[in-house]
Structure 1
Amino acid sequence: MPYERCSMICPNPPCLSPLGLLPHSIVSKPAHPKADAFPMNFAARAFRTPRIWSNRELSRFASIYTGEVIKVSAWQDKDKEGSTYSQYFSSCAGYMISNFNGHQGGLQGWQNEIFLNLEKPSPEEHRLRYDVVFNHTTLEHVWDFRIAVRTLTELSRDTVILVVPWLQPLHTTYGDYWRFSPHATARLLAEQGFTPLYLSWNTDRGCAVYVFCIASRHPERWRKQFGVFGAAPDLDVTRALEGDFAGRHIFDAADAALDG
């Protein structure tokens, strides 16, 4: 199957994995059949369509995680489709949320909730406590986003699942500062010692674009699980530890496939 070089004009950019390129048929579909049922005004399509797409991406992977999970900056943990994100992680041993005092995402007073300021170092008692740290569309609202990424990775002893906006209209009145390309997303995590295992973005026309990334401190543990999604098995995932940063070979492999 042919692949196209990722660019702003490419209608169907491929998903990238350290084990190879995934074909369009796997990842580059419209967000969800439901998306067409919503009112087709600009705001509804711009924001709801990528949310549904990212929920679908998460649902493909969440059930494989059996350890402790925390949803950072969770607010009420709603997926905006009538469920909570805790339901996605159906196999996990425990599920926590964090929140921060603010206009949105303030503390909810739940038993499984902790206070977390992403612009501060992580609390000592929560460092390396969670197997999965999940964060959805928060970093664009944090001025010191590099500190925030470091704080997220400090919480995790294995995996970080991150969803960030790449292209999205300005929104909210409490700070909307940043957008993140797939390259930036992967590198931010790789700089903290996490190897990107899976990287994708939606391609729906006329709406915002989100980047979905799964990265791990221990990529060798996940070769089998992520190989089943169409990646080439002959690329050694341990090569993620080489080069200028951990995720460099994702783009080396992509360029080789596209130029070959």
Structure 2
Amino acid sequence: MTSSDYWDHDTAEQYDDSSAFMFAPEVLDPAVAFLAELAGSGPALELAIGTGRVAIPLVERGVRVSGIELSQPMVDVLRGKRPDLPVTVGDMAHATAPEEGPAPGEFSLVFVVWNSIGNLRTQAEQVACFRNAARHLAPGGRLVVELWVPGIRRFPPGQTAVPFHVGERHVGFDTMDMATQRGTSHHYSTHPDGTITYGASNFRYIWPAECDLMAQLAGLELESRAEDWRGTPFTGDSENHVSVWRKPTG
């Protein structure tokens, strides 16, 4: 059984609206352009594909995309928008690509974006996810992970939470346990009728160096790391990273 939270029907139906800032062109377009270039003419597999925020624009660019997603309601929303996009309902640490898509070992690109790998709340599952990604890649194929860098320097003694997003319709903050690397994201969303709703999601944060070790255990080699999809250099002050690991050809 996976440790991931499960997005139910109500959450899935509201996901696109409540996450509108993630669909903004300045956020989405650089990610789609980066991934499309890496995929080239080969097929791509998105882990935790959700409602298709990234996958659908990639398909519209001509990339053959398949997906793996734990939540059936999220897949239902995706299929309402793009019924021809093949998706396996299952755990991204262990599930296999859809039978109607390319077979494992044939993908030129596997990707997991917007911190979704942190939905797996144990280190063992996260290691298994890297291995599952590597199993799906063709020799020379690449795994891309978009992930935040834990902001624990922002936790002075006695502080229990730090904000990660403050917008007109959404405010979110994280609480974290430094001993277990587990945390909870708390979301407060304001709706057009003036009501405010609360939601929470649980995660395990991963350091960039820990990601590199997980990739190494999966037989992958670090190719590049930037702060964002536009290629801003990654530094000790970066709060996010887009990392690319390559499966050797030999």
- TM bucket by the smaller chain? 0.5 to 0.7
Match of 1:133 among 107, 110, 118: 110
Give the TM-score normalised by structure 2: 0.53
Distance 2:118 2:206 in 1: 8
Specify every segment of 5 or more residues in structure 1 that has no aligned partner in the other structure, as ranges: 1-43, 221-260
Distance 1:145 1:160, change over 3 A: same
Runs of 4+ in 1 over 6 A off after TM superposition: none
Indicate if the aligned counterparts of 2:46 and 2:110 stay in contact, CA closer than 8 A: yes
Distance 1:162 1:86, change over 3 A: same
Which deviations, in whole Å up to 9, do the C-alpha atoms of 1:200-233 show, x marking residues without a partner?
22589xxx9322111111379xxxxxxxxxxxxx
Matching residue's letter, 2:135: E
1:86 aligns with 2:58: yes
1:183 Cα offset (Å): 1.4
Match of 2:131 among 150, 158, 162: 150
Give the TM-score normalised by structure 1: 0.51
Indicate if the aligned counterparts of 2:68 and 2:92 stay in contact, CA closer than 8 A: no
Greater relative CO (CA pairs within 8 A, separation 6+)? 1
What does 1:165-204 correspond to in 2, within 5 Å?
165-167=148-150, 169=174, 170-171=184-185, 175-202=201-228
Identity across matched positions, percent: 6
Find the counterpart in structure 1 of residue 86 from structure 2: 113
Cα RMSD of the aligned pairs, angstroms, is 3.8
Structure that is richer in strand per residue: 2
Distance 1:85 1:150, change over 3 A: farther
For these two proteins, the number of residue pairs brought into alignment is 167
Indicate if the aligned counterparts of 2:66 and 2:98 stay in contact, CA closer than 8 A: no
Indicate if the aligned counterparts of 1:77 and 1:86 stay in contact, CA closer than 8 A: no
Specify every segment of 5 or more residues in structure 2 that has no aligned partner in the other structure, as ranges: 1-18, 151-163, 165-173, 175-183, 187-198
Match of 1:159 among 142, 153, 156: 142
What does 1:40-59 correspond to in 2, within 5 Å?
56=30, 59=33
Distance 2:22 2:201 in 1: 20
1:189 Cα offset (Å): 1.4
